[in-house]
């Protein structure tokens, strides 16, 4: 679809996919809940890539598995009584942590879930350099979240205990310097209140646009050539084009610890 005046404009859109929980959602929250994610859109109005938070099951090395399992809801209980960190530590000590799903950030090649989104709204527009600088910042933060290897918790009584897709969306927008309030959503993004980027292992950074055209083209080429159209890939060092030298100054110290 051609949009007049958008010949050189790149965009990032916030998408909401209905969780389709029916009366349960409306009874608890007053309206439907959503799985939210972000889409990178080129001047031809094509979806170049998407960023999602999803589950990863270590036992089978599969994405999008066991997010609603009994193990997941054990984490929900621990999180709701503010003991998730202790619960994770015990599971790791007892060598049973591989049975618990993790929260991971994934990158798609082109449109993966946008056809399932009920709503999409533009949260950023600009030149290729302006928009992709923020997108690559989000990929960099996504890799740091993945390095946490934290347990996935779909719901929780405590805001910071909801380690799910919507918490990832909030973190991605934060990395992009885009401050989107929750009331902008058409549905309820349960978990959006989680400020996962404030964890010291993640820290803050701002590249201030210090990506080259070659960095951006390398990312686009890599996504197109190395990620299946049918399954996204976890954001790792190959999808993080952030130059360490350009992002050395952290607002929060980066503390490494065993997980």
> What pLDDT, in 10s, does the model give residues 32-52?
888 999 999 999 999 999 999
Task: Say how many C-beta atoms besides its own lie within 10 A of residue 18's C-beta.
Answer: 16
DSSP code at position 52: E
Model pTM?
A: 0.83
Per residue in 76-109, is it b (16+ CB within 10 Å) or e — as a string?
bebbbeeebeebbeebbeeeebeebbbbbbbbbb
In-domain check, residue 241: yes
**Residue 254, pLDDT above cutoff 50:** no
For residues 25 and 175, which has the higher predicted lDDT (pLDDT)? 175
What's the total number of domains in the chain? 1
**What is the pLDDT, as a whole number, of residue 116?**
92
In-domain check, residue 102: yes
For residues 185 and 152, which has the higher predicted lDDT (pLDDT)? 185
In-domain check, residue 253: no
In-domain check, residue 100: yes
| Beta bridge pairs of residue 34 | 18
In-domain check, residue 254: no
Identify which of 218, 243, 185 has the alpha carbon closest to the alpha carbon of residue 165.
185
Q: What is the domain extent for residue 138?
A: 11-247
**What is the pLDDT, as a whole number, of residue 148?**
87
70-79 residue pLDDT tens: 666 676 666 6
Only one residue has tokens 């302006």, namely 130
In-domain check, residue 259: no
In-domain check, residue 158: yes
3-state secondary structure of 107: strand
Task: Say how many C-beta atoms besides its own lie within 10 A of residue 183's C-beta.
Answer: 5
In-domain check, residue 121: yes
Tell me how far apart the alpha carbons of residues 65 and 58 are, in angstroms, rounded to a whole number. Answer: 9
184-218 residue pLDDT tens: 999 988 888 888 877 766 666 566 667 888 889 99
**Span 179-186, average pLDDT:** 91
């Amino acid at each position: 679809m051609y949009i007049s005046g958008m010949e050189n404009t790149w965009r990032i859109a916030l998408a909401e996919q209905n969780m389709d929980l029916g009366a349960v959602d409306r009874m608890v929250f007053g309206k439907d809940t959503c799985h939210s994610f972000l889409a990178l859109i080129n001047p031809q109005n094509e979806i170049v890539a998407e960023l999602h938070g999803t589950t990863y099951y270590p036992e089978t090395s599969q994405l999008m598995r066991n997010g609603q399992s009994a193990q997941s809801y054990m984490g929900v209980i621990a999180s709701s009584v503010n003991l998730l960190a202790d619960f994770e530590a015990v599971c790791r000590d007892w060598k049973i942590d591989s049975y618990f799903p993790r929260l991971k950030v994934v990158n798609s090649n082109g449109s993966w879930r946008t056809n399932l989104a009920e709503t999409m709204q533009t949260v950023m527009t600009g030149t290729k350099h302006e928009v992709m600088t923020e997108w690559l910042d989000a990929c960099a933060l996504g890799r740091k979240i993945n390095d946490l290897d934290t347990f996935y918790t779909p719901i929780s009584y405590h805001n910071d205990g909801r380690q799910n897709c919507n918490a990832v969306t909030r973190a991605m927008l934060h990395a992009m310097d885009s401050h989107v309030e929750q009331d902008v959503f058409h549905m309820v993004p349960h978990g959006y209140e989680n400020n996962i980027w404030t964890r010291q292992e993640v820290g803050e950074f701002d590249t201030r646009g210090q990506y080259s055209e070659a960095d951006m083209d390398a990312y686009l080429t890599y996504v197109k050539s190395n990620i299946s159209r049918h399954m996204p890939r976890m954001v790792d060092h190959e999808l993080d084009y952030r130059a360490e030298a350009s992002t050395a100054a952290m607002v929060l110290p980066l503390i490494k610890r065993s997980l």
